[in-house]
């Protein structure tokens, strides 16, 4: 009986340590799902009247295995764009980390729109097949971007 109790205590003590070791593994697994180059399929955003429309643009999002990211979006009409674009072009780069299985944070080291530099942009994401869907977690931003793995 004493040895059974000792075995249960040892196993119980080891479980929390095992869970702590596995948590980073899950973040790494989620990060690995993002790693690669993604081409823009569609970008939906709200217009001035609040209606959601598809923007006429193309672009690329790159995630590296060492936690770096870069995004570029070119609107076909230079007069269109968003708070992230200037002259119809969006470009930023920096680092990213996975917050959990449905959000990541993109830290901006450099950007065409200089007011973005130094900001942490939290993004909701989901991966379905070869598609990555990204949305802002900011309730005041109403956009959705679909990317497809190259």
The DSSP result for 69-122, as a single string, is EEEEEEESSTT---TT-BTTEEEEEEEEEEEETTEEEEEEEEESSGGGTT-EEE
- How much is the mean pLDDT over the chain? 85
Q: Is residue 137 part of a domain?
A: yes
Q: Is residue 65 part of a domain?
A: yes
Cα separation, 67 vs 34, whole angstroms: 10
The parent domain of residue 137 ranges over: 31-149
pLDDT digits (tens, 9 = 90+) for 120-143: 999 999 999 999 999 999 998 889
Q: Is residue 145 part of a domain?
A: yes
Q: Is residue 89 part of a domain?
A: yes
Q: Give the count of beta carbons closer than 10 Å to the beta carbon of residue 147.
A: 25
pLDDT digits (tens, 9 = 90+) for 73-125: 999 988 876 889 999 999 999 999 999 999 999 999 999 999 999 999 999 99
Does the pLDDT at position 6 exceed 60? no
Q: Is residue 75 part of a domain?
A: yes
CATH number of the domain encompassing residue 104: 2.40.128.280
Tokens read off for 20 = 């702590």
Weakest-pLDDT range from 11-15, 31-35, 72-76: 11-15
Q: Is residue 73 part of a domain?
A: yes
Q: Is residue 45 part of a domain?
A: yes
* pLDDT in the model for residue 31: 59
How many residues would you count in the chain? 150
3-state secondary structure of 61: strand
Q: Is residue 2 part of a domain?
A: no
Cα separation, 129 vs 126, whole angstroms: 10
Structural domains in the chain (count): 1
């Amino acid at each position: 009986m004493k040895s059974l109790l000792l075995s249960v205590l040892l196993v119980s003590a080891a479980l929390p340590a095992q869970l702590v070791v596995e948590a980073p593994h899950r973040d790494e697994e989620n990060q690995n799902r993002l790693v690669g180059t993604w081409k823009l399929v569609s970008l939906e955003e709200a217009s001035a009247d609040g209606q959601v429309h598809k923007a006429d643009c193309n672009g690329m999002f790159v995630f590296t295995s060492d936690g770096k990211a870069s995004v570029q979006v070119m609107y076909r009409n230079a007069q269109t764009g968003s708070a992230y674009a200037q002259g119809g072009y969006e470009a930023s780069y920096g680092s990213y980390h996975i917050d959990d299985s449905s959000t990541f944070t993109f830290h901006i080291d450099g950007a065409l729109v200089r007011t973005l530099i130094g900001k942490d942009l939290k993004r909701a994401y989901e991966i379905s097949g070869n598609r990555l869907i990204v949305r802002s977690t900011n309730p005041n931003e109403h956009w959705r971007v679909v990317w497809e793995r190259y």
